[in-house]
């Protein structure tokens, strides 16, 4: 992984493919989503003109997420978003959304911390830790197996 201070550059080519310059391989939107989930700093640039298109890629990921499964935004909420574009309230609305999301995330983190403290030392905590170790072992076994099948590593599968 890249160092937390280093911004990972991903280049988008005219053929719509994304190239991760850190790993020197093509990646998918799902891979970019994983970078977001792991809080890896990155920037997506248009290969032809060098323009920062990170927001557009993030919107594509949201669109994919909204299209499949249970959507996060209702039709009413999306309609309200559209109404706020260009309105005199746009900046206030954007600030409100950002503040609300940050507050939600900090509350979720506080709940996780409290649950960890409550469960620490209980049989359930031991079971969860053992389960996590088993998942990590399983993932390592799969990686080792894929290395045997694809000697060039993960880049061969992309």
Q: Dump pLDDT digits (tens) for 102-151.
A: 999 899 989 888 887 777 777 777 777 788 888 888 877 777 766 666 55
> What is the maximum span of the chain, computed from C-alpha positions, in angstroms?
59
> In the predicted model, what is the mean pLDDT of residues 55-67?
92
pLDDT at position 51 over 90:
yes
Domain ranges across the chain? 121-158
Q: Quote the tokens at residue 18.
A: 């994304």
pLDDT at 50: 94
Q: Is the pTM of this model over 0.85?
A: no
Reported confidence tier of residue 6, pLDDT bands at 50, 70, 90? confident
Environment class of 10 (CB within 10 Å of its CB; exposed 0-12, middle 13-18, buried 19+) = buried
Cα–Cα dist 101/41, whole Å = 19
Cα–Cα dist 108/85, whole Å = 29
> In the predicted model, what is the mean pLDDT of residues 87-96?
86
pLDDT at position 53 over 90:
yes
């Amino acid at each position: 992984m890249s160092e937390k201070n280093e911004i990972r550059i991903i280049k988008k080519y005219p053929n719509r493919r994304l190239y991760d310059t850190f790993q020197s391989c093509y990646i998918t939107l799902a891979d970019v989503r994983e970078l977001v989930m792991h809080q890896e700093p990155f920037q997506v640039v248009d290969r032809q003109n060098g323009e920062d298109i990170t927001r557009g890629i993030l919107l594509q990921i949201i669109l994919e997420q909204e299209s499949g499964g249970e959507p996060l935004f209702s039709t009413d909420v999306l309609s309200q978003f559209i109404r706020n574009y260009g309105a005199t309230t746009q900046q206030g609305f954007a600030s409100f959304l950002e503040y609300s999301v940050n507050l939600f995330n900090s509350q979720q983190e506080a709940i996780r911390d409290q649950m960890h403290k409550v469960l620490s030392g209980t049989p359930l905590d031991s079971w969860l830790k053992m389960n996590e170790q088993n998942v990590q072992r399983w993932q390592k076994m799969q990686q080792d197996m894929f290395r045997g099948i694809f000697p060039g590593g993960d880049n061969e599968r992309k």
